[in-house]
Amino acid sequence: MNLGSELGGDGRLPEVWADAARAGREAGFDAMKVYPLSPVRALEGTGPIREAEKLVGAVREAAGGDADIMVDLHGRTTPAMGIQVGRALAPHQLLFLEEPCQPGDVDAIVEVARAIPIPIATGERLATRNEFHELIDKRACAVVQPNACYCGISELRRIAGMAETSFIAVAPHNPNGLIGTMVSIHLALALPNFLILEQVRDDVPWRGEIVDEYPEAKGGYVDPPTRPGIGVELIEEVAAAHPGHSPPPHLANAPDGALLDW
């Protein structure tokens, strides 16, 4: 469950995050991803770090010690800042810390990975095995996150195979619709180093209506598809009634006005 998509209103309050975590557990999920850090400068004081620590702490307390929590920094931090955040969040026993630096700077990710006790995940913006090669060769991460909609099925399998030879797990990136989700479910069944699959639940009210059989999660798991192909059929009338629109850009600015990665 992606906790970031569950939060609305005054989403920076620990009690709001705790309520969302409890709602996720009640819905049967025992793993959740959170985005606790606002865009920061190359090196900040303790304020943003303490805020992130409070938010993640609220999620951990509400979700329970048996829940898996993942923190996504979305490439917003420098190695120095990512290390500080990782060390502050280490007591909460995260499953992984995602994208502490921009994925194109592999040495920066290595620097963070060697300095904190939390496994690093990255790769959602990469599309080919060549782009993943250096990450895997340098053991810059413990989890790679290729997206089937970017890589394609065959290329994702090759990336996963490369990762397997270095004892690196695969958590397919999946903020996608139900077609992409079903493809990712098939890949999850086929990959020996598969770790976990994220999903979006409440982005649009008609999400479950666009295919003829919704892959409902029960206790955090879905049943293997049994129908031909990917296991669902697109309902074209519903899709046509909801033409795609690009979402508003997630933009943020630094104190000097520079555009930041949100």
Which DSSP symbol is given to 60? H
Task: Name all contacts of 53-57 with Cβ < 8 Å and 24+ positions apart.
Answer: 53/88, 53/89, 54/14, 55/12, 55/14, 55/17, 56/89, 56/92, 56/94, 57/14, 57/92
The CATH architecture annotation of domain 3-261 reads Alpha-Beta Barrel (3.20)
End-to-end CA separation in angstroms for the chain:
20
pLDDT by residue for the chain (262 residues), tens only, comes to 555 444 433 578 999 999 999 999 998 899 999 999 987 888 888 999 999 999 999 999 999 999 999 999 999 899 999 999 999 999 999 999 999 998 889 999 999 999 999 999 999 999 999 999 999 999 999 999 999 999 999 999 999 999 999 999 999 999 988 999 999 999 999 999 999 999 887 788 888 899 998 888 888 888 899 999 999 999 999 989 988 766 666 667 776 777 766 6
pLDDT at 246: 60
Query: What's the chain's Rg over C-alpha atoms?
Result: 18
pLDDT at 198: 94
* pTM (two decimals): 0.90
Environment class of residue 99 by beta-carbon count within 10 Å: exposed (0-12), middle (13-18) or buried (19+)?
Answer: buried
pLDDT at 200: 84
Query: Which residues make Cβ contacts (< 8 Å) with residue 119, sequence separation at least 6?
Result: 94, 95, 96, 97, 141, 142, 143
pLDDT at 203: 81
In whole angstroms, give the CA distance from residue 243 to residue 236.
11
pLDDT at 25: 92
